[in-house]
Amino acid sequence: MNQVNDQTSDIAAPSPGAGRRLHPLPVRIMHWINAVAMLVMITSGWGIYDDDVIIRGFQFSGFWRLGDWAAWSLNWHFAGMWFLTVNGLIYLVYGFASGRLREKLLPIRPAELVQTVVDTLHFKIAHEDLTVYNAVQKLLYIVVILAGVSQVVTGLAIWKPVQFSGLVSLLGGFQTARVLHFAGMAVIVGFLIVHVALALLVPKTLWAMVAGGPRLAARRRAKQGHLT
Ligand code: HEM
């Protein structure tokens, strides 16, 4: 399943409508399953947190919590966990096997990173070419994917501390694993605020994640002068 090869062969295809979309159907399905599962995990996690807070005096209001009381939140958390983990694993296997992760998220050049930050500070976020992620996007996607993996690992440690006692010690103990799990949630929520705001500011990216976006082969043929 080599996407680069797929695209190369698509360039020679005669039909103008042919070719892979920017976001192939499996990516879109996995993205939206992940989005729902992540929201369930975050809001139910807040319900569990409120029962035994980490930061004294800091609680989440009932409006933001999934589950009327901690036991219900825990049920939601365990249900969401399976969707998040299985879907995330499939996304990673698909991403590595198809070459999508490498192709879309690498390389990240420091100069490009700085330029994108400067452009963003000047509100230049036109995002003309949907098929290429800018350096900040690439970095944020890598960070959030790693944060997702870290949530599953720290979550396993605090869910089954006896069975995974080795993992708990590796993470610095039960309480540290809990704090790391909370910190991972904060990173993901921070990402989500920026991610959703940018998707709303540039709605064509949002529509592309729903409908698939432009066909890559057609775009490439156009670049090579086969289409106007
Ligand atoms: C619930 C609201 C969400 C919305 C509206 C949303 C929207 C989008 C959009 C529009 C894109 C395409 C960006 C582009 O082409 O420039 C995208 C990609 C992506 N989103 Fe989200 N997203 C949401 C939730 C999430 C969550 C919860 C995560 C992970 C924690 C996530 C992680 C990603 C990643 C990693 C990509 C790149 C996927 C790839 O190209 O393989 N998103 N999202």
Domains and CATH numbers, the chain: 1-21+213-228 (no CATH), 24-203 (1.20.950.20)
- Is residue 3 in contact with ligand 1, taking CB distance under 6 Å? no
What values do phi and psi take at 21, rounded to 5?
Answer: -80, 160
**For the chain, percent of residues with pLDDT exceeding 70:** 87
* 19 φψ region: left (φ > 0), alpha (ψ -120 to 50), beta (else): left
- Is residue 136 in contact with ligand 1, taking CB distance under 6 Å? no
- Is residue 196 in contact with ligand 1, taking CB distance under 6 Å? yes
pLDDT digits (tens, 9 = 90+) for 45-82: 999 999 999 999 999 999 999 999 999 999 999 999 99
CB 109 within 8 A of CB 62: no
- Is residue 188 in contact with ligand 1, taking CB distance under 6 Å? yes
HSE-CB of 2 using CA atoms within 13 angstroms = 4
Output the pLDDT for position 103. 96
Query: Do you find a cis peptide bond into 214, omega within 30 degrees of 0?
Result: no
Measured in Å, residue 31 CA sits from the centre of ligand 1 at 6
pTM, two decimal places: 0.87
CA dihedral 48, 49, 51, 52 (to 10 degrees): 130
